[in-house]
Amino acid sequence: MKRLITFGDSVTWYDRQRYLATTHTPGQRCVGYQQVLRETFGVPVLNEGVSGETLQQITQRMATFAFRPGDALVLFGGINNFNKESLSQIGAPTTLAPETFTGATRHCLTQLAQTSPTIPVLLVAPYPVYKREKGWSAGAYRERILALGREFDRPVCDLWPLDVKADVTRFFADDVAQTGFLFHPTDWGHRLIGRQIADTLAQLI
């Protein structure tokens, strides 16, 4: 592996950005999960995270990305699908509809298999997240990512078992009183995530 590409939403984007005013550490520069990957593998890690994007939007950007021989890919999404969409937009398990979570991800993995068959791809299933209007969840997206990993024979780093509720202020940076949600990890949370991603990726490359 010569280069590691991390595609995702604001969890991915946050690496080396400053925590927002709605967090417990406003203005502090975030040390994202990618730092663990840099330390572990010693290769450049590209941050292709865009705040606010659903997995459909993330995979649309991936479709035009210029992958190179020696690249490896980490794809981490689903939290904004939970945040912004109704559960019906996840799509049926076998759907090809690109406007759905499932169809967009299936199309993306099919395209990668056809155009970049030698690139290792690691899918990341989200940890539990909280939104005031919905409570704790995102489990449906985790289950669908696991299923798509089996379908395409792609490994999945499953973050769901992380006990994020045990100490929410240690794991989550968001000030829930201001935001109404718990989505974004602290530096400690990022390091925990990074170790799991690195351990799974090491078995792939």
CATH code (residue 120):
3.40.50.1110
Task: Measure the CA–CA gap between 113 and 152, rounded to whole angstroms.
Answer: 9
Task: Measure the CA–CA gap between 14 and 34, rounded to whole angstroms.
Answer: 10
Question: Would you call 181 helix, strand, or coil by DSSP?
Answer: strand
* 73 in Cβ contact with 113 (< 8 Å): no
Can you give the three-state secondary structure of 3-21, one letter per residue? EEEEEECHHHHCCCCECCC
Q: Which residues pair with 30 in a beta bridge?
A: none
* Residue 92: count of CB within 10 angstroms of its CB: 11
Per-residue pLDDT of the chain (205 residues), as tens digits, is 999 999 999 999 999 999 999 999 999 999 999 999 999 999 999 999 999 999 999 999 999 999 999 999 999 999 999 999 999 999 999 999 999 999 999 999 999 999 999 999 999 999 999 999 999 999 999 999 999 999 999 999 999 999 999 999 999 999 999 999 999 999 999 999 999 999 999 998 8
The number of distinct structural domains making up the chain is: 1
**Domain, as residue range, for 142:** 3-202
Alpha carbon of 79 to those of 6, 39, 130, 177: distances in Å? 16, 26, 10, 19
* 10 in Cβ contact with 51 (< 8 Å): yes
Q: Global pTM? A: 0.96
